[in-house]
Structure 1
Amino acid sequence: MTARITAFKAVLAATIFFAAAPSWAENVLYRGNAGEPTTLDQHHTSINIEEFILKDLYEGLTIYDAKGVIVPGAAESWTESDDGLTYTFKIRDNAKWSDGSPVTADDFVFSFRRAEDPKTAAAYANILYPIKNAEKINKGELPVDQLGARAVDAKTLELTVAQPTPYFLELLAHQTALPLSKANVEKNGADFVKPGVLVSNGAFKLAEHVANDHLTLVKNPEHWDAANTKLDKVVFYPLEDQAAAVRRYEAGELHVDYNFSADQLPRLRQQFGNEVHVSPALATYYYVFDTRNAPMNDVRVRQALAMGVDRDFLANEIYKGAQQPLYSWIPPGLGNYGEPEKADFANKSQLDREDEALKLLKEAGYGEGGKPLTIEIRYNTNPNHERVATAIADMWKTAFGAQVSLVNLDVSSHYAYLQEGGKFSVARAGWTADYGDAENFLALNTTANKTFNYPHWSNADYDALMAKSYTEKDPAARQKLMHQAEAILVKEQPVTALLVNNDLWLVSKKVQGWYDNANNQHLSRFLSVQN
């Protein structure tokens, strides 16, 4: 009897040991995201908190690797014609949707046509405008079947561009270029985004989505590279409350947290050391003036208000050095663009700027002895943005006697308001490069850009320079045209750049495979958690 009991205890102990062993545990990554996605329909998204999720679910023809470099995705290879106008992509034979059906060239044709179809009203339709006829289709001037996208066969896709586009492969890694399962969308319509319905071709598939609480992805066994995906599950938490997000990170409830409050930077660095990541980005933090209404329709008022912002104070006092002052529209660091064009007040002292600004306001009829200057600043809910808005309100009040009020909305509502043409006087916005070319920033403020031209600004000379840049084949001449366009923009100030954004992340030491990169690309498939 004793021997039997001893043997039983040994088996029980071994069972307990193996059940507790790390190799038996799920590898789960908990990610703090900076807000709730508006939707999981890639054609109706525009911000990075949506992109982070979508790029875990879907895989474009090209993708960014762990270091932010463009590499093959759903397409294993491609060729480019000698004239730079035709790209032929070979889609992987083992590329499948999460329901086991093959990813085909026709799925991509369907998706690109849907993105450009004016009925879709895609927020980022312009990202695919280099494809032949895309812009005309999006404006309702041609039918969708005229798009320069053709399925040669089930696994061969041909894309034709209107003119050589040096950054085309980067565009195809954008969230708007992520494919949809044609069969699934046609079967389920708008419901295709729901858990249990959504079919994806990325490293993960959607398991659960509880709005404003969490979104859970699980490993997609049908993904062509599933064997190298180490995570079993990814849980995104839409945490707009940055203080709450940091507390959850401190408690060990999050492995990764995006965009913490900058005033916490010194404390967090002391507490967590190299778990705090301040990653330089191709990103501009800016304010927008609604040029449709007085007083912002007066260039002198816009120039004066731009001069009245002490960018050094914002960078050093509010962001604790985590951001840098910016006086150009294009952030530095675009190697093929050179030194950006700066506003003419960039090299003046803040006192000299304010003196010049007062003269401009007086000429425009505002300030002492003139009309009162009443301003409302809109921003998306975020402690950093609130501090910036409060500081700028105080600067404008102190320097110009302006009456300034503040209005804030959650991030999705804020950008929806701007993109749908809501009226305002001043609004906060930010832009992170979708690809490494100055055109990505300059195109925002063309008259034709109905989605991102938040100031509703129109300048014929600016539009003409940008239009010419699209047909200019000589790289040096093309850059010169864009410099001339930027010079007009920083003079007219429909948007005023304030800071060069850096990406702020908290990344646990348990997370393996993380690399800071200027494109801020961190696909979960390249990460793992060391328990």
Structure 2
Amino acid sequence: MVLMKTKLATTILLGSLLLGSSQALAEVVLHRGNSGEPKSLDYAHISINIEGFVIYDLFEGLVIHDAKGAIAPGAAESWKVSDDGTVYTFKIRDNAKWSDGSPVTAEDFQFAMRRIENPKTAAEYANLLYPIKNAEAVNKGKAPVEDLGVKVIDAKTLEITLERPTPYFLQLLSHYTALPISKANYEKFGDQFVKPGNMVSNGAFKLQAHVPNDSLTVVKNESYWDAANVKIDKVIFYPIEDAAAAVRRFEAKELDVTYNFSADQIKRLRASYGAQVHVTPSLSTYYYAFDMRQPPYDDIRVRRALSMAIDRDFLSSEIYKGAQLPAYSLVPDGMEGYGKPPQPDFAAMSQIDREDKAVELLKEAGYGKGGKPLNIEIRYNTNTNHERVATAVANMWKTALGANVSLVNLDVASHYSYLKEGGKFNVARAGWAADYADPENFLALNVSTNKTFNYPHYNNPQYDALIKQSYEERDVAKRMELLRQAETLLVNDQPLAPLMGTADLWLVSDKVQGWVDNATNNHLSKFLSVSK
């Protein structure tokens, strides 16, 4: 009798082990190279795309970008817009739940938006929601958070009232600034709600572990409303800033997807991996900012001279191998209704003529031969491509203008934190990818009151007035003309030097299905699958 029980127990144990083993083998894992460590998982305090890639897997807004980059229903299954375009009413899905199984409610969205606009939060992107009624007044401490135009109609109905019609408002709501927070969970953990073990999320995945500078792991959220269609069990993000190391790990099949590789590798990688190499034109601009708070960068002649002496064609063809194109405006080509962006007068000149004119301008400003020496420090975030651009620009300024140029680099989080916190510099590398497909998203960066993203500290009252006027203009064509007038001032004043219209560089294994190149550079893991 005892022997029979032992055999039965052994059989059950072996069966359990085999079942567990088969389940483990069946786990679908996506390994993503992410080009840098997120500064935070609190979306009130992030601003770059590598942070967004993680956040969008964890949290879902009222609307999202689908696999093709188009606006699609997210936590809201539908919405209505008033005839005058100022009131949006969202119906939140009945089966939208947090990862702890509790329902996602209209109050969660209201709570999150009030938190973003509360000046005590010091949210970096608070201005993105300024089209909401009273948002700017709340954010500047002139009105209580309760005055924000976000109203709970019932548990699953949210009403948002705007200051004025905003054609791109749904685009704004797809941004992480408009993501919800579980009010109950935040009241329990406060700002520590983003920590593993504390975080409750409503996206397709939930946070399992985070080892800074090593890996960040998210696992499938079984409470997600569309969990049945999520084909990946686990996503591991690796914050690899070394582009060469990321490529090596992709080639060793340790990574299924990786973002940002060195552009000089395009030809070699295409020869070896063909369609697994993705070079996708995007609504984004690569630029150098001049710190206008200090000489000589407060002198328009110096800024224009430095911008003129940069051979953008060389950067495009030699460093990026054509993956990025020369640019002379902050707003990229392709914005509907905007036409070709304004160009500075030197854009039509040959590079030799530009350099000759640059020398004249510097001489007028008292620099160059017979004048004061021009000492320049270029700051950039650690990345092979950015290093090569900085080295090339330094050589151009030395050769054409006789400048003494040094380079300083920091990791991506530290670099942008330094700029956003107002740290002083000479010249700093920056880039901007559209949060929404409207020129205002680029031009609002340099309004004097934008304390976060106005890296040059540009202050032109006429520019500010044109941007403000554009917010009040209902006629689409007239609004675009106001924005064009504003950018004309920007390209003439050159507080920043646009260098290239950028492309997004990805390596995507042929094991990964569901990947669609898109200009918004949104690639939610929920749309992907991985074959064995």
Q: TM-score range by the shorter chain?
A: over 0.9
The residue aligned with 2:218 is 217
The residue aligned with 1:277 is 278
- SS of 1:486's partner is helix
How far residue 20 of structure 1 moved from its aligned partner, in angstroms, is: 8.0
1:204-353 map, 5 Å: 204-353=205-354
How far residue 140 of structure 1 moved from its aligned partner, in angstroms, is: 1.2
How far residue 189 of structure 1 moved from its aligned partner, in angstroms, is: 1.2
- SS of 1:449's partner is coil
Q: Which runs of 4 or more aligned residues in structure 1 lie more than 3 Å from their structure 2 counterparts after TM superposition?
A: 13-24
How far residue 370 of structure 1 moved from its aligned partner, in angstroms, is: 0.9
Matches of 1:159 and 1:427, distance apart in 2: 38
- SS of 1:405's partner is strand
How far residue 141 of structure 1 moved from its aligned partner, in angstroms, is: 1.2
Q: Which amino acid aligns with 1:224?
A: W
Matches of 2:401 and 2:413, distance apart in 1: 32
The residue aligned with 2:422 is 421
Residues 311 and 326 of structure 1 are in contact (CA less than 8 Å); yes or no, is this contact kept in structure 2? yes
The residue aligned with 1:93 is 94
Percent of aligned pairs sharing the same letter: 67
The residue aligned with 1:492 is 493
- SS of 1:42's partner is coil
- SS of 2:77's partner is strand
Matches of 1:85 and 1:195, distance apart in 2: 39
TM-score w.r.t. the length of structure 1 is: 0.96
Unaligned runs of at least 5 residues, structure 1: 1-10
Q: Which amino acid aligns with 1:222?
A: S
The residue aligned with 1:6 is none
1:187-202 map, 5 Å: 187-202=188-203
Q: Which amino acid aligns with 1:522?
A: H
The residue aligned with 2:26 is 25
How far residue 18 of structure 1 moved from its aligned partner, in angstroms, is: 8.5
Q: Does 1:156 align with 2:151?
A: no
The residue aligned with 1:178 is 179
The residue aligned with 1:8 is none
Offset from partner CA, 1:480-531 (integer Å, 9 cap, x none)? 0001001000000001100011000000000010000000010000001011
How far residue 343 of structure 1 moved from its aligned partner, in angstroms, is: 1.2
Residues 307 and 345 of structure 1 are in contact (CA less than 8 Å); yes or no, is this contact kept in structure 2? yes
The residue aligned with 1:4 is none
Matches of 1:15 and 1:72, distance apart in 2: 41
1:5-16 map, 5 Å: none
Matches of 1:21 and 1:210, distance apart in 2: 28
Matches of 2:319 and 2:25, distance apart in 1: 46
The residue aligned with 2:470 is 469
How far residue 24 of structure 1 moved from its aligned partner, in angstroms, is: 5.2
TM-score w.r.t. the length of structure 2 is: 0.96
Matches of 1:416 and 1:21, distance apart in 2: 46
Residues 329 and 341 of structure 1 are in contact (CA less than 8 Å); yes or no, is this contact kept in structure 2? no
Matches of 1:451 and 1:56, distance apart in 2: 25
- SS of 2:316's partner is helix
How far residue 137 of structure 1 moved from its aligned partner, in angstroms, is: 1.1
Unaligned runs of at least 5 residues, structure 2: 1-11
How far residue 335 of structure 1 moved from its aligned partner, in angstroms, is: 2.1
Would the alpha carbon gap of residues 313 and 19 (structure 1) be closer, same or farther in structure 2, given more than 3 Å must change? same
Residues 51 and 175 of structure 1 are in contact (CA less than 8 Å); yes or no, is this contact kept in structure 2? yes
Aligned length: 521
- SS of 2:210's partner is strand
The residue aligned with 1:362 is 363
Residues 18 and 24 of structure 1 are in contact (CA less than 8 Å); yes or no, is this contact kept in structure 2? no
The residue aligned with 2:528 is 527
Matches of 1:22 and 1:322, distance apart in 2: 42
Q: Which amino acid aligns with 2:510?
A: K
Matches of 1:21 and 1:142, distance apart in 2: 58
The residue aligned with 2:9 is none
The residue aligned with 1:437 is 438
- SS of 1:36's partner is coil
How far residue 14 of structure 1 moved from its aligned partner, in angstroms, is: 11
1:123-142 map, 5 Å: 123-142=124-143
Matches of 2:509 and 2:242, distance apart in 1: 19
Let me know the Cα RMSD of the aligned residues.
Answer: 1.7
Matches of 2:136 and 2:435, distance apart in 1: 18
Would the alpha carbon gap of residues 222 and 21 (structure 1) be closer, same or farther in structure 2, given more than 3 Å must change? closer
Matches of 2:267 and 2:500, distance apart in 1: 19
Moved more, 325-334 or 492-501: 325-334
Residues 326 and 500 of structure 1 are in contact (CA less than 8 Å); yes or no, is this contact kept in structure 2? yes
Matches of 1:70 and 1:318, distance apart in 2: 34
